[in-house]
Amino acid sequence: MRIGLGYDVHRLVAGRRLVLGGIDIPFDKGLLGHSDADVLVHAICDAVLGAAAMGDIGLHFPDSDLRFKGISSLKLLASTTSMITKAGFEVGNIDATIFAQAPKISPYRAEMQRNLARTMKIDPDCINIKATTTEGLGLIGEGGGMAAMSVALLT
């Protein structure tokens, strides 16, 4: 068994879609990034790659590469899963937390878990998504961005 940790932050700006866990969430701002900037999926990719000692998301999917411009981060997670599977690992479980002042994440949580489970070809019970605000404090509390943190256990 091996454990990995992932952490990611993206800026919130007007004129972008807000995509979290592969779901388009109605909101007046979206996360800025080269891909769809799905901060949750990026943290999970990094946790999975970390557990496999296979570097990080920036190494495998560099933001200088036009192939990844605007790409759904679920595709990056699918590639990550196939890389670690080829290396002989299986995802045991994922636990992740989204840090966002708004919007409310709880209505989307079950669908996010299903999306991620389908992408990683594991049972939805093996994924837990949580969300918290930062009580109005700091960059995230003031609505300047969102962050996500994840751990992954590989067997």
Nearer Cβ to Zn ion (8/105): 8
CB of 33 to Zn ion, least distance (A): 6
User: Omega before 103 cis (within 30°)?
Assistant: yes
* Part in contact with Zn ion (CB under 5 A); list of ranges 11-19, 35-43, 84-92, 126-134: 35-43
- Asked if residue 98 lies in contact with residue 130, where contact means CB atoms within 8 angstroms, the answer is yes
- Asked if residue 9 lies in contact with residue 39, where contact means CB atoms within 8 angstroms, the answer is yes
- CA–CA dist 109, 32 (Å, integer): 22
Q: Count of CB atoms within 10 A of residue 75's CB?
A: 16
* Part in contact with Zn ion (CB under 5 A); list of ranges 4-12, 120-128, 135-143, 147-155: 4-12
Site for Zn ion in 41-80 (CB under 5 A): 42
CB of 43 to Zn ion, least distance (A): 8
Site for Zn ion in 91-150 (CB under 5 A): none
Q: Which residues contact 105 (CB under 8 A, 6 or more apart)?
A: 20, 98, 129, 131
Per CB under 5 A, the list member of 4, 6, 8, 109 interacting with Zn ion is 8
* Part in contact with Zn ion (CB under 5 A); list of ranges 7-15, 47-55, 75-83, 106-114: 7-15
- The footprint of Zn ion on this chain (CB under 5 A) covers a number of residues equal to 2
CB of 150 to Zn ion, least distance (A): 12
Q: What angle do CA 110, 9, 142 make, to 5 degrees?
A: 90
The residues of the shown chain that bind Zn ion, judged by CB under 5 A, are 8, 42
